[in-house]
Structure 1
Amino acid sequence: MADSDNLSEAEIRHTVREEVSKAGWSVISTVFWTILAAFAVLVGLQAIQIALYASGLGALAYAAVGILITGASVYLLYLLHWD
C-alpha cells in the first residue's frame, strides 16, 4: 500500500491511459464476439432447418452440426454477457 502513496502525477496519468486503452479494446472485443456469435446462431439454425428438409444420413449430419453450432454460440453469448 505504501508504494501507491508515492506515485507521481506522470505515473498516475500513464497508468490511467493504459487502463482506458485496455477497457476500450475489451469493449471492442466484446462487440465483435457478440456479433460473430449472433451470426453463428443463425447459421446453426439454418443448418437445422436444412436438416428438416433433407433425408437419411445427411439430415442427421445437418441436425448435429446445427445443434453443435447453435449450442456453442449460445454458450459464448452466455459467457460474454451473463457470466
Structure 2
Amino acid sequence: MDASTRITEALTLKTDIDEDSHEAFVELAFETILGWTPTPEEMNACLNSITNWQQENESNSNPDTQSPRASLIHVLLNHNDFATIR
C-alpha cells in the first residue's frame, strides 16, 4: 500500500465523510496536505478529475487499483508548492 492510499484511508476514517461526498473530501485533503481551502477553480478541477477517474475505472476491463480519492492525494503530494532539497 502506498502513501496516498494510506492518507486517503486515514482522512476517511478521521472524519464522517460519505463515499459520495467528494467535495468534503477534497476540502479536507487540501487543508490537511496543503494547508489551505481550495479555490472554486481548484475544487472544480479536483471534482472533475475524480469523476473522470471513476468513469475510467468503470469502463476499463482492467481497472486501476488506486481509488480516485487516492489519485487526488497523489496529485496533491506532488503539488509544486512543496520545496525539494537535493
TM-score, normalised to structure 1, is 0.32
Structure showing the higher helix proportion among its residues: 1
Q: Which has the larger radius of gyration?
A: 1
Q: Determine which structure has greater relative contact order: mean sequence separation of CA pairs < 8 Å that are 6+ residues apart, divided by chain length.
A: 2
